[in-house]
Structure 1
Amino acid sequence: MPSIIVVGGQWGDEGKGSIIAYLAMHDEPEIIARGGVGTNAGHSVVINGKKYAVRQLPTGFMQRKARLLVGAGVLVDPEVFFYELEHLKDFDVAGRVGIDYRCAIIEPRHKELDRSNGYLHGKIGTTGSGCGPANADRALRKAKQAKDIKELEPYLTDVAAEVNDALDEGALVLVEGTQGFGLSLYFGTYPYVTSKDTSASAIASDVGIGPTRVDDVIVVFKSFPTRVGAGPFPTEMPMEEADRLGLVEYGTVTGRRRRVGWFDFEMARYSARVNGATMLALTMLDKYDKEAYGITDYDKLPKKAKEFVEEIEERVGVPVALIKTGPELEHIIDRRDTI
């Protein structure tokens, strides 16, 4: 069985949560591991009309057979962690979750610094979740680790060992990335970026998977990219145009209104290349073509929607394997067996 990494190809908010949730339920991985920065990234999932948002735990929590892991590269905020355990108690999350004992801890002072620093919160537009200052302390080798927090002791594990053991046994492992490629500390629109790399290579490292153990990389794009906070956005449309098109969105973590733009084919191609995409996922196709709403058969897509998908494949050079046509889990076209 393969390992699959899912990452965002734009500036976050691509709808990774809905893709991960589908893969979790359809492919039934034995392990779902979260990489990425930390609690500054929120993933939303709609299940039977109810919206769930997670910032710390893996988005595939609804797959009750899966072990849920938080990789060593991820920052942990104990307050958020325990809130989500309670928030998701109907899914028996507490009995399935494991935090790598080497995760660095976000402390209250990190959040205070993030929110009060004029450069970080004012100019860069950070979420105020404390991730930047916590990662700075980690780089200075003075951050606390999960093993130093008594309350976390029942949940501690060696995520790298668990993931690699599972792969040795032929189990399916699903690895979640957070944020998006345009926010990578290395490859993004610096300095308007997050505090670490967000590419597939970094996400693999976060959970302890070497390059030769990655089988598939799914890069997620949405039909109209969005961005929260400051920074370049070459294809950004005026807010009035976004209103006219019904493209009003708000950030899962910050609650700030998202800036909206037209699909950037050049960025998408570069993102797919650097991430090593083996396939693409496209979300919110129904926003691009309202007649595509809820369709689950590619052949039944309206002409406008199908031409858009084909243009992405041609110009990016990677097949579009998963297509979201609405908010619910079942609103998806899965073409993996045909490409």
Structure 2
Amino acid sequence: MPALVLLGAQWGDEGKGKATDLLGGSVDYVVRYQGGNNAGHTVVVGDQKYALHLLPSGILSPGCTPVIGNGVVVDPAVLLSELSGLAERGVDTSKLLISGNAHLITPYHTTLDKVSERFLGKRKIGTTGRGIGPAYADKINRVGIRVQDLFDESILRQKVEAALDSKNQVLAKLYNRRAIAVDQVVEELLGYADQLSGYVADTTLVLNNAIDRGQVVLFEGGQGTLLDVDHGTYPFVTSSNPTAGGACTGTGVGPTKISRVIGILKAYTTRVGAGPFPTELLDEDGEKLRTIGGERGVTTGRDRRCGWFDAVIARYATRVNGLTDFFLTKLDVLTGWERIPVCVAYEIDGKRVEELPYSQTDFHHATPIYETLPGWSEDITQAKTFDDLPKNAQKYVQALEEMSGAPISAIGVGPGRDETIQINSFL
């Protein structure tokens, strides 16, 4: 069963792009199974840096077929722009497959996303304003528009008319905005049909057949576990399921066909947007992590909030995803600290809590309990094996592994494709 899931084990931005790219040369298909262009991956190949927002990272691996699954919401303008940008840099994008059942982000979704977030004021969620939430809401409300609808003008028009009947009322009467014309939306969407038609396929059939043939399929999640709409820090979450279960519903591949689930962990913790963050650092250490780690969102451009490693969150990710392995990234960023605190538990109302509280109220009031580990000053970016790491760096990795509940099978010691220590093979 050569199917693997690779996902974020924190609040996203853990380095999934690098991990996927590392495996890309050894797998036949890389599949995005949820999210939209609110997720971003940075991949460094040689002296080239690629920022991917909607496309699977496997598109940079020549022998790999990249797939956008049915669980993704697709902004066609963003997708075509990203494909064009890669083609200009000599990347072959012809093998991309897009599920006909994936839902589209339309102009009215982005408009509603932006005006509703502004309307919330201090209660805003921290959305990227790219229409992802409204597109998923329409999907659940059964008024969404799918990729396949681009190829039937009659169905497309009926669906746009039905959607705008209510949305224009909201825009005009609640937000004092101008109504959106049906013809304008239909014309824009139809303009994408010819450009996308060659990519659209029954990806569920393609992927299941590939697995049955013994080919290797890698499912790539966007965002991270703590942003999952069911299992994250609700309501400060995304609108889909980045956790392992989302790989099944977002692709049509059953759970019995998945052999390994790999969680990506930063050696510290970051998050973008609003919401609780127990280990957040609002001091010089936090700014130092942000600067050295280049902690700015690939898609949003926003500075990431930074904090020490949170083992409570890591254990939670292991549990809800059934993780078999961890890929620890950005260990090099911690070089230079004399002592490195690690959150091992929380204090809530005077009590020590070692598992993530299910209560939103409790989590908002959680105070981290730290253990401090010795740091290192040696440059680790040239390390090729675990033994090449300084002893204190080795002890740090071993402590995180013990606290997190799954083996650390790879370690990122720099941003480059080759700056990775492989301890155990994922395949």
TM-score by length of 1: 0.95
Is 1:98 aligned to residue 100 of structure 2? no
1:137-190 superposed Cα distances (whole Å, 9 cap, x missing partner) = 111111111012223222110111111000000001111111000101111111
- 1:120 deviates by 6.5
2:95 aligned partner, one-letter code: R
1:147 aligned partner, one-letter code: Q
Q: In structure 2, how many angstroms separate the alpha carbons of the residues matched to 1:105 and 1:98?
A: 15
Q: In structure 1, how many angstroms separate the alpha carbons of the residues matched to 2:331 and 2:280?
A: 18
Moved more, 241-250 or 76-85: 241-250
Q: In structure 2, how many angstroms separate the alpha carbons of the residues matched to 1:164 and 1:239?
A: 49
Moved more, 321-330 or 141-150: 141-150
**Which residue is 1:332 aligned to?**
420
- 1:206 deviates by 0.6
2:98 aligned partner, one-letter code: I
Q: In structure 1, how many angstroms separate the alpha carbons of the residues matched to 2:121 and 2:57?
A: 26
- 1:74 deviates by 0.5
**Which residue is 1:19 aligned to?**
19
Which structure's relative contact order is higher, taking Cα pairs within 8 Å and 6+ residues apart? 1
Pairing of 1:185-334 with structure 2 (within 5 A): 185-245=229-289, 246-289=292-335, 291-334=379-422
1:26-52 superposed Cα distances (whole Å, 9 cap, x missing partner) = x2x111111121111011101112211
Q: In structure 2, how many angstroms separate the alpha carbons of the residues matched to 1:323 and 1:193?
A: 27
- 1:204 deviates by 2.7
- 1:337 deviates by 4.6
- 1:331 deviates by 0.2
1:180 aligned partner, one-letter code: G
Q: In structure 2, how many angstroms separate the alpha carbons of the residues matched to 1:239 and 1:50?
A: 33
Is 1:135 aligned to residue 136 of structure 2? yes
SS in 2 for 1:292: coil
Unmatched runs of 5 consecutive residues or more in structure 1:
none
1:8 aligned partner, one-letter code: G
**Alignment RMSD, CA only?**
1.7
Pairing of 1:88-167 with structure 2 (within 5 A): 88-89=86-87, 90-93=90-93, 95-117=94-116, 118=118, 123-149=124-150, 150-151=193-194, 152-167=196-211
1:259 aligned partner, one-letter code: R
- 1:234 deviates by 0.6
Q: In structure 2, how many angstroms separate the alpha carbons of the residues matched to 1:80 and 1:327?
A: 25
**Which residue is 2:217 aligned to?**
173
How many residues were matched structurally?
A: 336
- 1:244 deviates by 3.5
- 1:11 deviates by 0.5
Instruction: Tell me if the contact between 2:32 and 2:68 (Cα under 8 Å) persists in the aligned partners.
Output: yes
Instruction: Tell me if the contact between 1:114 and 1:120 (Cα under 8 Å) persists in the aligned partners.
Output: no
1:11 aligned partner, one-letter code: W
Moved more, 125-134 or 150-159: 150-159
- 1:247 deviates by 4.3
Q: In structure 2, how many angstroms separate the alpha carbons of the residues matched to 1:69 and 1:292?
A: 35
- 1:243 deviates by 2.2
1:260-284 superposed Cα distances (whole Å, 9 cap, x missing partner) = 0100001101111111111000000
**Which residue is 2:68 aligned to?**
70
Instruction: Tell me if the contact between 2:266 and 2:330 (Cα under 8 Å) persists in the aligned partners.
Output: yes
1:101 aligned partner, one-letter code: G
- 1:195 deviates by 0.6
- 1:239 deviates by 4.4
- 1:119 deviates by 5.6
Q: In structure 1, how many angstroms separate the alpha carbons of the residues matched to 2:251 and 2:243?
A: 13
**Which residue is 1:79 aligned to?**
77
Instruction: Tell me if the contact between 1:288 and 1:305 (Cα under 8 Å) persists in the aligned partners.
Output: no
- 1:224 deviates by 1.5
Sequence identity percentage: 41
SS in 1 for 2:73: coil
1:113 aligned partner, one-letter code: L
Instruction: Tell me if the contact between 1:294 and 1:332 (Cα under 8 Å) persists in the aligned partners.
Output: no
- 1:294 deviates by 3.0
1:63-111 superposed Cα distances (whole Å, 9 cap, x missing partner) = 1111111000100110011111111111211x10110001100011111
Seen in structure 2, the aligned counterparts of structure 1 residues 270 and 119 have a Cα distance that, compared at 3 Å, is farther
